[in-house]
């Protein structure tokens, strides 16, 4: 599959600019993980998934579940970049009456499939969607992003067991392996390594990639489609706060937003990465 890496990089950079801008306007929210998973989200919406901004309720659309629902700024920014709604609506994040809620709230008009918040619950929702497609003999696929801190939740592993038993080869989890969570480094809070071995032991097809390398990301999605009779988990190693030097790999930015001065610095750095003039 041919990948226009430069185009995807530019879209991902646009998404990161939107994330820091909307979070600054909101004054609260989650920055680190949203910035880190932006490349995976770009590949999903601009290369992998069957979606249509002009027909967001299309019956045979692929489904996306953001189980780590606090990272919703990256979903909104991606949907706006894809044309589901105007970008200026992003500035209403967390405002009273806004469609841009602080965690996901199901609203198919803007492309948000599920309501979330309680960590771990999105994995079972995604499992149910994939099972529904099998029961109805439909060919749409379900993709679910979850966090490594979220993987401390037992419900994640319950979903893993059931999806494996049901041989849901139309289900793909993407684990945002950024090594941070709310109160510190994930390996200090509650280690989950060896994570690929764990998912393999649950009879999943586990693929480990660089979550910022578009060739590796898209190749992993091809691998998932070619794998039969078992679900796939893509373990995407990412840098939280990706693209902004003072945010990268700092767990403090899990739930912190940029001040006005920090926004200016962040946008200056992101603008320097633009691949097109």
Enter the tokens of residue 127.
């499992």
Residue 274's pLDDT band, with cuts at 50, 70 and 90, is confident
pLDDT at 277: 41
Residues 6+ apart with CB under 8 A from 68: 33, 119, 122, 145, 146, 147, 150, 176
Residue 1's pLDDT band, with cuts at 50, 70 and 90, is low
Partner residues linked to 173 by β-bridges: 144, 233
Residue 98 burial (10 A CB sphere; 0-12, 13-18, 19+): middle
Partner residues linked to 66 by β-bridges: 145
pLDDT (tens digit per residue) in 240-268: 999 999 999 999 999 999 999 999 999 99
pLDDT (tens digit per residue) in 165-179: 999 999 999 999 999
Mean pLDDT of the chain: 96
Enter the tokens of residue 37.
């998973």
The strand ranges marked E within 4-129 are 63-66
Mean pLDDT, residues 38-52? 98
Question: CATH topology for 5-272?
Answer: Rossmann fold (3.40.50)
User: Considering the chain, what percentage of its residues have pLDDT values greater than 90?
Assistant: 95
Unique residue bearing structure tokens 């803007």: 110
pLDDT (tens digit per residue) in 129-163: 999 999 999 999 999 999 999 999 999 999 999 99
Unique residue bearing structure tokens 């893993």: 160
Q: Look at 267 and 1; give whichever has higher pLDDT.
A: 267
């Amino acid at each position: 599959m041919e990948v226009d890496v430069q185009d995807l990089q530019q879209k991902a950079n646009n998404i990161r600019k939107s994330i820091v801008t909307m979070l600054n306007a909101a004054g609260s929210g989650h920055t680190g993980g949203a910035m880190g998973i932006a490349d995976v989200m770009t590949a999903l919406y601009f290369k992998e998934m069957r979606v249509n901004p002009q027909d967001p309720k299309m019956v045979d659309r692929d489904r996306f579940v953001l189980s780590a629902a606090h990272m919703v700024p990256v979903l909104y920014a991606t949907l706006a970049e894809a044309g589901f709604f105007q970008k200026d609506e992003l500035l209403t994040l967390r405002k009273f009456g806004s469609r841009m809620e602080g965690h996901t709230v199901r609203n198919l008009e803007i492309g948000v499939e599920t309501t979330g918040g309680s960590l771990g619950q999105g994995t079972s929702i995604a499992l149910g969607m994939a099972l529904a497609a099998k029961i109805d003999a439909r060919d749409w696929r379900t993709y679910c992003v979850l966090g490594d801190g979220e993987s401390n939740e037992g419900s994640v592993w319950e979903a893993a067991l059931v999806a494996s038993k049901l041989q849901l080869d139309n289900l793909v989890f993407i684990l945002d392996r950024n090594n941070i969570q709310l109160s510190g480094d994930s390996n200090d809070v509650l280690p989950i390594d060896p994570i690929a071995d764990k998912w393999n032991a649950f009879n999943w097809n586990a693929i480990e990639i660089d979550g910022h390398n578009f060739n590796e990301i898209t190749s992993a999605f091809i691998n998932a489609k070619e794998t039969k009779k078992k679900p796939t988990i893509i373990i995407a190693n990412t840098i939280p706060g990706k693209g902004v030097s003072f945010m990268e790999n700092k767990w403090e930015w899990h739930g912190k937003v940029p001040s006005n001065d920090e926004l200016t610095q962040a946008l200056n750095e992101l603008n320097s990465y633009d691949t097109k003039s």
